[in-house]
Structure 1
Amino acid sequence: MISIYILTYNEQVDIAECIESVINLSDEVIVVDSYSSDRTVEIASHYPVKVVQHEFESHGKQRTWMLKNIPTKNKWVYILEADERMTPELFDECVAASQSNEAIGYYVAERVIFMGRWIRRSTQYPRYQMRLFKKGEVWFGDYGHTEREIYSGAIDFLKETYPHYTSGKGLSRWIDKHNRYSTDEAKETLYQLQQGGVNWKKLLFGSTEVERRRALKNLSLRIPLRPVVRWFYMYFILGGILDGKAGFAWCTLQAFYEYLILLKVDELRETNLESPYPNSLKYPDPEESPNTSESLSL
């Protein structure tokens, strides 16, 4: 079997459906809550799940803390967020993968559901996230508003996907959340512009979609008029125009998000603030793995 972690913070709208999507599949479901102020914990407590609360610092640190401090019945674990759902087909593939001993972790592609529609084209589907892995073999570090997985060993990709309901709590919540995210992304952008670079080899000849996407992001940070370029690229090149009204809204909001990041980068420069990420990809326990590989899903 596979143990399931569900990460939550004020998820009273989604938590019930998320738990119900997996409760009859896994023999262990653990809700890791960041001290929600709504009914998230109350609702979760109605189900046969374990609820653990821990103060949120960052996405990477929260994942590292739960992996180190919350024991599980099973060696293999899957990370699920409250606005995502597990499917029986995906769970079956996860179980089969965990028994194969061919890899220590697996990427899974998301299907972004926005305004009630699968945004297949302008989200660059398939877009992968590290979700299934052997506990103790994969860790997480911070990168911008999100996290990067850090591992040492073979990884692979699953064929099944999971639905991600990005606007289930309404557009106001989406906008508020991305306003917060843009602050962390601005800090990481500033650091990457000062210390990073473009890996052209991985961009052109990367062995996986994850490698190519990460290199593409590093390139995109250096493109003039990035918000405009991103909107044009998503809407016309990727085919967002075929995703209907929801596709237009998605591309426009993503371009606005990029513009907000750029404004905050300028603000950081004007206030002479340094990026807080000089070691943003430090392994949680450096002595445990001096030679690690890492990848990013954007």
Structure 2
Amino acid sequence: MLKLSGVIITFNEERNIEHCLQSLANVVDEIVVVDSFSTDRTKAICEQFNVKFIEQKFLGYIEQKNFALSQANYDHIVSLDGDEALSKTLQKSIIDLKSNWKLDGYYANRFNNFCGQWIKHSDWYPNKKLRVFDRRCAEWKGINPHDNVQLHDSNSKSGHLKGDILHKTYQTYSEFNQKTEYFSTIAAQAYFDSGKKASVLNVIWNPTWAFFKSYVLKLGFLDGFNGFVIGVQTANITFLKYAKLRELQQTNRK
């Protein structure tokens, strides 16, 4: 029977990591946790489980996750963040794969919990993610912090699993606001490093479109007040990303 490695990166995930590990424990044959020197109880909680715990200075989201993949003993991977867990249905789907793996990778929908509410619209569900895959056929790519697993070959074959990745995202509005500021800075720098430019039109139009898409086209209004908050912050992070990119452009012209 095929063996699976569960792979996780963490930093100060004491709030969520136990649920994550519990959901993997009876599914995979080993769990690898790569931690960026957490200052909370993350390590202590992980040590209560049978995990391979590695401390590694943070390399960047994409780089850290690919490093974590390289630490696994098995090629067939279940990759989660520390604030994610497998639903019961998804656990069963992955266990079934161990005797019936046919493709290069498998997608699952991610179901996001925001401030205690499971978000069913707002471009947050179904949030399809490739998280079960053969590492010989895939790796983490993208532009930080918007990382995603991509199959190497356009002819690679993928499928979709029943069940959800349960994601405990921001649990307060203040946390959402702080992360918006943090991630917009990382994204702006990554865009700048890749040579991307930001025009005034980008700063004005892209946030407007981001809100309209989230709140109207993706039915965010059906998620109530939190749907509105998500729409506003989606626009805000887009605005900050392009505004900061313009600032970097202007600073480096001097």
Could you say whether these structures have the same fold, taking a TM-score greater than 0.5 normalized by the shorter chain as the test?
Answer: yes
Deviation at 1:228, TM superposition (A): 2.2
2:42 corresponds in structure 1 to 40
How many angstroms apart in 1 are the aligned matches of 2:136 and 2:37? 25
Whether the aligned pair in 2 keeps the contact of 1:2 and 1:78 (CA below 8 Å) is yes
Deviation at 1:186, TM superposition (A): 1.7
1:210 corresponds in structure 2 to none
Whether the aligned pair in 2 keeps the contact of 1:12 and 1:43 (CA below 8 Å) is yes
Deviation at 1:268, TM superposition (A): 1.1
Deviation at 1:75, TM superposition (A): 3.3
Whether the aligned pair in 2 keeps the contact of 1:67 and 1:136 (CA below 8 Å) is no
2:246 corresponds in structure 1 to 266
1:178 corresponds in structure 2 to 180
120-129 vs 183-192, which moves further: 183-192
One-letter identity of the residue aligned with 2:89: E
- The structure that is strand-richer by fraction is 2
1:146 corresponds in structure 2 to 146
How many angstroms apart in 2 are the aligned matches of 1:35 and 1:245? 36
- Overall identity of the aligned pairs, in %: 27
How many angstroms apart in 1 are the aligned matches of 2:159 and 2:203? 31
Question: Is 1:26 aligned to 2:28, yes or no?
Answer: yes
Structure 2 SS opposite 1:225: helix
Whether the aligned pair in 1 keeps the contact of 2:36 and 2:58 (CA below 8 Å) is yes
One-letter identity of the residue aligned with 2:75: K
How many angstroms apart in 2 are the aligned matches of 1:7 and 1:193? 28
How many angstroms apart in 1 are the aligned matches of 2:90 and 2:219? 27
One-letter identity of the residue aligned with 1:161: D
Whether the aligned pair in 2 keeps the contact of 1:29 and 1:50 (CA below 8 Å) is yes
Q: 2:236 aligns with which of 253, 256, 269?
A: 256
Q: 1:233 aligns with which of 213, 224, 239?
A: 213
1:180 and 1:124, CA in 2 relative to 1: closer, same or farther beyond 3 A? closer
> Residues 75-90 of structure 1 correspond to what in structure 2 (within 5 A)?
75-90=75-90
One-letter identity of the residue aligned with 1:106: Y
How many angstroms apart in 1 are the aligned matches of 2:101 and 2:31? 23
Pairwise CA RMSD: 2.4
1:140 and 1:4, CA in 2 relative to 1: closer, same or farther beyond 3 A? same
Structure 1 SS opposite 2:109: strand
Whether the aligned pair in 1 keeps the contact of 2:12 and 2:42 (CA below 8 Å) is yes
The runs of 5 or more residues in structure 1 that have no matched partner are 195-220, 274-298
Structure 2 SS opposite 1:21: helix
1:11 corresponds in structure 2 to 13
One-letter identity of the residue aligned with 1:226: N
Q: Deviations over 1:185-227 (max 9, x none)?
A: 2234454745xxxxxxxxxxxxxxxxxxxxxxxxxx9585221
182-191 vs 108-117, which moves further: 182-191
2:167 corresponds in structure 1 to 164
Deviation at 1:41, TM superposition (A): 0.4
1:99 and 1:178, CA in 2 relative to 1: closer, same or farther beyond 3 A? farther
Provide the aligned length of Structure 1 versus Structure 2. Answer: 245
How many angstroms apart in 1 are the aligned matches of 2:22 and 2:97? 23
How many angstroms apart in 1 are the aligned matches of 2:146 and 2:65? 11
Give the TM-score, by structure 1 length: 0.74
Q: Deviations over 1:13-67 (max 9, x none)?
A: 1112221222233332222111111111012112222211111111111122122
Whether the aligned pair in 2 keeps the contact of 1:144 and 1:186 (CA below 8 Å) is no
1:94 corresponds in structure 2 to 94
2:58 corresponds in structure 1 to 56
Deviation at 1:92, TM superposition (A): 1.9
The runs of 5 or more residues in structure 2 that have no matched partner are none
How many angstroms apart in 1 are the aligned matches of 2:195 and 2:122? 25
